[in-house]
Amino acid sequence: MLKSLLLSGLLSTMLLFSSSSNAQTDFKLPDLGSSALEVLPIDKEKALGKVMMMQIRGGSPIVQDPVLDEYISSLGNKLVANANNVRFPFTFFMIDNQAINAFAFYGGHVGIHTGLIAQSDNESQLASVLGHEIAHVTQRHLARRLQHQKDNSALTVAGIVTGILAAIIAPDAGMAILSASSTQAGLSQLSHSRKAEQEADRFGMQTLYNAGFDPSQAGAFLTKLSNQVRFQTKPPAFLLTHPLPDSRVSDVRLRAQQYQPRQIQPSQDFNLAKSRVIARYQLDSKNAQAFFENEIRKSTSLSKTHLEYGLAISLLDQKQAKEAEKILKPLLNDEPNNLFYLDVYTDILISLGHSEQAVEVLTKHNNLRPNNQVLALNYANSAIKAKQYDIAEQTLKLFLLDEPEHLLAKELLTELYKNNGNQAAYYEAKASVLSAYGAFLKAADEIQRALNHVDTLETVKKTRLKALLKQYRQMQKELAKL
């Protein structure tokens, strides 16, 4: 899978670099050089990011969890709003992997492993890593790698980008690819990477402070990773792509001391997100139940809601919905608009066979906060389970107008059309899902099937589907040229 993924990413990358571009920009780059724009203009960077995102979807277990997605996107965008040199919107996503890791690549895509949330002690630590990754994008470090290779015949554009893809999916393989060209080239590449880390630390900490977080936690997090290295034969995945010489930890700590000290109150959303990750992605449900029950017994904190929330999830996932409801219902009564609680309560009601009640509960919330992804997708899912297909279709179509690339919404729409027997719409929705993975040939096949289910009198629909068929086939041809 990794080999085919890298090959596919390589072909796509070569395609993008082979086309000419007349894009102009007035943006000023920081002191490491403006040549990055010459090698990779903004429009090509965004296009390359989209292609790489398709490859990652096909080769990594991306977390499709609206609650966690809402949390991590909100946190990430808060940091982006306080960063410098932001040139395009950012996209934040999660991968189901217990390793402590995060990465950024072209076009403002930032991915984090679930293990990073599980191992962070507080929100400022998590935010420090996100701020660091945002800085890699805003300072265009990957584009600078491409500039670096122009003066180094031992490296190729394709080789560097292939290494980046590999490092995202399997850091061991990625670092091997990046350092395999020649001894001198490998050393030069590593040196450049260390400079990029220093710059990302500097810009990331400024962003962290501007966004209202505790800058000292950046050093605390690096210290935590450094301590892990001492007791492990294999370093954490994060350190395979983010060098950590001894001086870096002390540099980060010294830099943090230049900022005004801050006392940050614990974030309830962070604690709930961490409990959700532990319950759903770090431990199996039985071990998660034991973990949360033990933590509740040991806890001396006045508030144990995040631990009770995690326990409710672990019980629900063991099909003990009634027991989960007993724990979650009081939490929801205290905070009736809490998205974390509403999401799990919806799952409890569906598990108990009360899908209609779930639709009723979510109707008012969805009306108050239309197109919030947690509410809209839970509302649509409940409506599908309750066979209220009109509600589900209207909700999903409205949501996709705002978020046209949202994969889970597309998959729910596909499920909806399959259940209500609308064959033409089902195949079209299925094609849209496949195109998100870059499977344009398969998407074209699904559009052809959709055309077979359209009445001859539906000329507008036929024309639209034929245009879509042509578009998918053209995309496939472009990829096949190389």
Question: Count of residues for the chain?
Answer: 482
DSSP 161-183: HHHHHHHHH-HHHHHHHHT-S-H
Amino acid making up residue 151: D
Asked if 386 contacts 36 with a C-beta cutoff of 8 angstroms, the reply is no
Mean pLDDT confidence for 328-355: 97
With tokens 């969805």, the residue in question is 366
pLDDT tens for residues 159-213? 555 555 665 555 443 333 333 443 334 334 434 466 777 777 788 888 999 999 9
State the pLDDT at residue 275. 97
Question: What's the token pair of residue 143?
Answer: 């584009």
Cα 137–139–141 angle (5° rounding)?
70
The single residue of 133, 197, 214, 393 carrying the catalytic annotation is 133
What was the pLDDT predicted at 39?
A: 58
Mean pLDDT calculated for residue range 291-318: 93
Clarify whether 121 is annotated catalytic: no
CA angle 11, 15, 17 (to 5 degrees): 120
Summarize the confidence of residues 476-481 as an average pLDDT.
Answer: 66
**Under a CB-based contact definition with an 8 Å cutoff, are residues 404 and 414 in contact?**
no
Per-residue model confidence (pLDDT) at position 224: 78
CA gap 334, 317 in Å, rounded: 23
Spatial CA neighbour of 378 closest among 62, 61, 63, 67: 67
Are the C-beta atoms of residues 384 and 416 closer than 8 Å to each other? yes
**Widest CA span in the chain:** 72
Query: What does pTM read for this prediction?
Result: 0.82
Q: Are 202 and 252 in contact (CB under 8 A)?
A: no
Could you give the CA distance from residue 268 to residue 426 in angstroms, rounded to a whole number?
40
Does 133 qualify as catalytic in the annotation? yes
Higher pLDDT among residues 239 and 279, named by residue: 279
Taking the CB of residue 442, how many other CB atoms lie within 10 A of it? Answer: 16
Share of the chain above pLDDT 70, in %: 75
What is the average pLDDT across 324-352? Answer: 97
Q: Are 346 and 382 in contact, with CB atoms under 8 Å apart?
A: yes
Percent of the chain with pLDDT over 90: 48
Instruction: Indicate which residue of 199, 201, 428, 446 is catalytic.
Output: 201
Place of tokens 């063991």: 318
Q: How do 109-113 and 91-95 pair as beta strands?
A: parallel
Contact 199, 32 (CB under 8 A): yes
Which of 247, 133, 153 lies closest to 196, judged by CA? 133
CA dihedral over 472, 473, 477, 480, signed as positive or negative: positive
pLDDT for the residue numbered 457: 86
The DSSP symbol for 65 reads -
Mind listing the pLDDT tens digit for each residue in 117-157?
999 999 999 999 999 889 888 887 776 666 655 554 444 44
Residue spans per domain, the chain: 2-256, 268-352
The pLDDT of residue 480 is 59
Give the separation between CA 202 and CA 408, rounded to whole angstroms: 36
Are the C-beta atoms of 376 and 362 separated by less than 8 Å?
A: no
